[in-house]
Chains A and B, each alone.
Chain A
Amino acid sequence: MKTTSLTDYIIERLPEIWQRIGEHIFLTGISTLTAVFVGIPLGILAFYRPGLRGPLLGIVSILQTIPSLAMLVILLALFQKIGVIPAIVALILYALLPIVRNTLAALQGIAPEIIEAARGIGMTEWQKMRLIRIPLGIPVIMAGIRTASVAGVGIATLAAFIGAGGLGEFINRGLALSNTRLIFLGAIPAALLALLVDFVLGFIEKVCDPKRNRHWSHRFRFALKLSIVLIPLFLLIPVFISFSPWSSQTAGSSEKNETKGINVVRIASKNFTEQLILAEMMAQMIEKRTHLSVDRKFNLGGTIICHEALKRGEIDLYAEYTGTGLMAILKLPAMNNPDEVYHRVSEEYLNRFNLVWLEPFGFNNTYTLTVRKQDAVQNQWKIISDLIPMSSKLVAGFSGEFQERPDGYPGFQEIYGFKFGEVHDLDPGLIYQALAKGAVDVIDGYLTDGRIPAYNLISLKDDKKFFPPYYAAPVVREEVLSAYPDLREALAPLGSLIDNTTMRALNYEVNGNRRGISELVTEFLQDKEVL
Chain B
Amino acid sequence: MIALDQVSKSYDGVSRIINNLSLEVLEGEILILLGSSGCGKSTILKMINRLIDPTEGRIYLDGKDIQQQDPIELRRSLGYVFQGIGLFPHLSIRENISMVPHLLGWPEDRINNRYRELLELVQLSPEIHADRFPDELSGGQQQRVAVARALAADPDYLLMDEPFGALDAITRDSLQQEFLDLKQRLNKTIIFVTHDIIEAVTLGDRIAILHEGRLEQIGTPEEILENPATDFVRELFAKSVKFWKGFKSIS
Q: How far is the CA of A117 from the CA of B90 in the complex (A)?
A: 14
- Contacts of A526 on B, CB cut-off 8 Å? none
The answer to whether A120 and B82 touch (CB under 8 A), given A127-B103, A214-B133, is yes
Q: Closest A-chain residue to B71, C-beta based?
A: A122
Question: A136 contacts B90, CB within 8 Å?
Answer: yes
* Residues 99-156 of A contacting B (Cβ, < 8 Å): 113-114, 116-124, 127, 131-132, 135-136
Report Cα–Cα, A118/B95, bound state, in Å.
13
Q: Which of B24-32, B53-61, B73-81 contacts A (4 or more CB under 8 A)?
A: B73-81
**Contact of A113 with B80 in the complex, beta carbons under 8 Å:** no
- Asked if A352 CB lies within 8 Å of chain B CBs, one says no
Closest approach, in angstroms, between the C-beta of A196 and any C-beta of chain B?
29
Question: B176 on the interface (CB 8 Å rule)?
Answer: no
Q: Are B75 and A119 in contact (CB under 8 A)?
A: yes
**Given the complex of chains A and B, what is the CA–CA distance between A113 and B83 in angstroms?**
8
Does any Cβ of B come within 8 Å of A211's Cβ? yes
Give the residues in chain B near A136, CB-CB below 8 Å: 89-90
B92: nearest chain-A partner, CB-CB: A214
User: Once the chains bind, are A116 and B89 in contact (CB under 8 Å)?
Assistant: no
Contacts of A114 in B (CB 8 A): 86, 88-89
Enumerate the 8 nearest inter-chain pairs by beta-carbon distance, A residue then B residue, closest first.
A117-B86, A210-B90, A122-B75, A122-B76, A120-B80, A117-B82, A113-B84, A122-B72
Can you report 28 A-B residue pairs in the complex whose CB atoms are below 8 A from each other? A113-B82, A114-B88, A117-B86, A117-B88, A118-B88, A119-B51, A119-B75, A120-B49, A120-B80, A120-B82, A121-B75, A121-B80, A121-B99, A121-B100, A121-B103, A122-B73, A122-B74, A122-B75, A124-B72, A127-B103, A131-B88, A131-B99, A135-B90, A210-B89, A211-B89, A214-B90, A214-B92, A215-B131
Residues of A within 8 A of B74 (CB): 122
A residues 209-246 near B (Cβ < 8 Å) are: 210-211, 214-215
Contact B51 A116 (CB under 8 A): yes
Residue positions of A touching B, CB distance < 8 A = 113-114, 116-124, 127, 131-132, 135-136, 210-211, 214-215
Interface flags, B26-59, vs A, CB<8A=1, else 0: 0000000000000000000010010100000000
Q: Is B114 an interface residue (CB 8 A)?
A: no
Q: How far is the CA of A127 from the CA of B82 in the complex (A)?
A: 19
8 A Cβ contacts from B122-136 to A? 131, 133
Which of chain B's residues have a CB closer than 8 A to the CB of A211? 89-90
Least Cβ–Cβ distance between A135 and chain B, in angstroms? 5
Contacts A117-B86, A120-B51, A210-B90 known; 14 new A-B pairs at CB < 8 A: A114-B86, A116-B82, A121-B75, A121-B103, A122-B74, A122-B75, A122-B103, A123-B72, A123-B103, A132-B88, A136-B89, A211-B90, A214-B92, A215-B131
**B92 to chain A: which residues have CB within 8 Å?**
214
Q: Does B206 contact A (CB under 8 A)?
A: no
A181 to B: closest C-beta gap in Å: 51
Question: A210 to chain B: which residues have CB within 8 Å?
Answer: 89-90
Our pick among A113, A122, A135 for the contact of B86 (Cβ within 8 Å) is A113
B224 within 8 A of A: no
CB distance from B48 to the nearest CB of A (A): 11
Determine the chain B residues whose CB is within 8 A of the CB of A121 once the complex forms.
75-76, 80, 99-100, 103, 149
Residue B87, interface by CB 8 Å = yes
Cα(A118)–Cα(B131), bound, Å: 20
Interface string of B177-204 (1 = CB under 8 A from A): 0000000000000000000000000000
Closest to A213 in B: B90
* Bound form: Cα–Cα A214–B95 in Å: 12
By beta carbon, the residue of chain A nearest B90 is A210
In the assembled complex, the Cα of A210 lies from the Cα of B83 at a distance in Å of: 24
A120–B79 Cα gap in the complex (Å)? 9
CA of A237 to CA of B35, assembled, Å: 65
Q: Verify A120–B86 contact, CB threshold 8 A.
A: yes
Chain B residue numbers with a CB within 8 Å of A124 are 72
Query: Which has the most chain B C-beta neighbours within 10 Å: A119, A121, A135?
Result: A121
A131 to chain B, nearest CB (A): 8
Which residues of chain B in 76-124 are interfacial with respect to chain A, using CB atoms and an 8 Å cutoff?
A: 76, 80, 82-84, 86-90, 92, 99-100, 103
Residues of A within 8 A of B51 (CB): 116, 119-120
How many angstroms from the CA of A136 to the CA of B133 in the assembled complex? Answer: 14
Bound CA span A136–B131, Å: 18
Closest residue of A by beta carbon distance from B82? A117
- Enumerate chain A residues within 8 angstroms of B90, measured Cβ to Cβ: 135-136, 210-211, 214
Residues of chain A within 8 A (CB-CB) of B72 are: 122-124
Bound complex: CA A211 to CA B76 (Å): 27
Nearest B residue (CB) for A135: B90
A224–chain B nearest beta-carbon distance, Å: 16
Alpha-carbon separation in the docked complex, A114 to B91 (Å):
12
CB neighbours (8 Å) of B99 from chain A are 121, 131
List the A side residues contacting B73 at CB < 8 Å. 122
Question: B89 to A120, Cβ gap below 8 A?
Answer: no
A263–B89 Cα gap in the complex (Å)?
65
Bound Cα distance from A450 to B73, whole angstroms: 81
Tell me, in angstroms, the Cα distance from A146 to B78 when the chains sit together.
42
Q: How far is the CB of A115 from chain B (nearest CB, A)?
A: 9
Q: Kindly state the separation between the CA atoms of A461 and B71 in the bound complex, as whole angstroms.
A: 87
Q: How far is the CA of A122 from the CA of B75 in the complex (A)?
A: 5
Quote the shortest CB–CB distance from A140 to chain B (angstroms): 13
Most chain-A Cβ atoms within 10 A of its Cβ — which of B83, B87, B89?
Answer: B89
B45 to chain A, nearest CB (A): 9
A389 to B84, CA, bound (A): 80
Chain A min CB distance to B9 (Å): 16
**Smallest CB–CB gap between A276 and chain B, Å?**
57
- Chain A nearest CB from B236 CB (Å) reads 28
Separation of A122 and B71 alpha carbons in the complex (Å) = 8
In whole angstroms, what is the CA distance A83 to B105 when docked? 52
A297 to B182, CA, bound (A): 80
Q: How far is the CA of A454 from the CA of B76 in the complex (A)?
A: 82
Determine the distance from Cα of A131 to Cα of B103 in the docked complex, in whole angstroms: 11
Which of chain B's residues has its CB closest to A125's CB? B72
Measured CA separation A397–B117 after assembly (Å): 81
**A114→B87 CA distance, assembly (Å):** 7
Kindly list chain B residues whose C-beta atoms are within 8 Å of the C-beta of A116.
Answer: 51, 82, 86
Complex interface: chain A residues within 8 A of B76 (CB)? 121-122
Q: Which residues of A are found within 8 Å of B82, using beta-carbon distances?
A: 113, 116-117, 120
